[in-house]
Amino acid sequence: MKAGFKWGWMIVAGLLFVLMALGCDDQDVNDDTDGDVPGDGPTVEVVYGDDTTTVDLSQFEATEIDGEAHVSLADVVMDGAELAPLGDFEFDFAASDGFTPLGSPNCLGIVPLPGEYLTQGQINIDTMRLVWDETLEFPGCLSVKDLAQIIVTDAVESATVEVTFGDASVDVRLATLPSETFQDVEAVKLADVIAAAHFEPELADLQADFEASDGFRPGNSGNCEGITPVAGADLELGYLSLDTLELLWDDELDFPGCMGVEDIALIELSDLL
């Protein structure tokens, strides 16, 4: 009876040893596998205030563009970071080296980018480069390489001013421009408004006329005869109030009151004569 018990215990112990060995072999195989493990694909951080979400791009259906796989920027934000609707937000982007379009003068007036544009953006999942629909004609500063972060802020209502040069016209969102206090009001520089339209000529080679929303132009007033169009060098000393859209000028110019037009709707550029 004792011998039978002894042999039975040895058999059970042997079986337990075999099972443990098999279990260890399976664990070793899993640890050494570099297969399709969730979270193992390329990632990007979506930063919204104090919240940061790391989004695995491999979870999205890829689209082939020029032979390379891309995922929708809108999908990354809406499905990956659960931020929707896109129109409630504005966006900047950061590369792994710290570059941001917002810090580039070539993206002045474009970034922060309104959320609706994200439906026309893609991320190349091999190079992590931003790619945009060609019809948007975005400058190269938005083709961020080695994308690391999508920076999200709440959308703000922004007044716009139309800037024209010849047949070309651009609506400039004033909220995207750097502002400062001038004559006790928050204002943006006219030079920045014009630069944000990204027309080719330099400011020094341009002149500008202005039109209010009711159609009034400074040149309509006899007191402003000979002052408009304003030369580029003088435009450097001009500002636009963010509150009233009033033209403000440095005292150095000694412009008459007719140049303080409110509710500016149009800045009309032409070559300096």
Look at residue 41 in the predicted model and tell me its pLDDT: 81
Per-residue b or e along 4-33, where b marks 16 or more CB atoms closer than 10 Å to that residue's CB: eeeeeeeeeeeeeeeeeeeeeeeeeeeeee
What are the per-10-residue average pLDDT scores of the chain (273 residues)? 48 46 38 42 95 96 94 96 95 97 94 96 97 95 98 93 97 95 98 95 96 94 92 97 97 96 97 93
3-state secondary structure 21-67: HHHHHHHHHHHCCCCCCCCCCCEEEEEECCEEEEEEHHHCCCEEECC
Look at residue 121 in the predicted model and tell me its pLDDT: 97
Question: CA torsion angle for 218, 221, 222, 228 (degrees, to 10)?
Answer: 10
* Token duo for residue 81: 């970071």
The counts of H helices and E strands in the chain are 4, 18
* Token duo for residue 55: 């989004």
- Give the helix/strand (H/E) hosting 182: strand 179-182
Look at residue 115 in the predicted model and tell me its pLDDT: 95
Look at residue 39 in the predicted model and tell me its pLDDT: 56
Distance, in Å, from the CA atom of 75 to the CA atom of 154, rounded to the nearest integer, reads 18
| Sign of the torsion angle spanned by Cα atoms 215, 231, 197, 101 | negative
Could you tell me whether strands 168-173 and 51-56 are parallel, antiparallel, or unpaired per DSSP bridges? unpaired
Could you tell me whether strands 206-212 and 185-189 are parallel, antiparallel, or unpaired per DSSP bridges? unpaired
3-state secondary structure of 180: strand
The DSSP bridge partners found for residue 173 are 160
* Measured CA distances, 213 to 91, 110, 174 (Å): 30, 23, 16
CB within 8 A of 239, min separation 6: which ones?
182, 183, 187, 188, 189, 190, 247, 248, 249
Look at residue 23 in the predicted model and tell me its pLDDT: 45
Number of other residues whose CB lies within 10 A of the CB of residue 189 = 19
CB of 230 within 8 A of CB of 248? no
The closest alpha carbon to 104, from 136, 144, 135, 134, belongs to 144
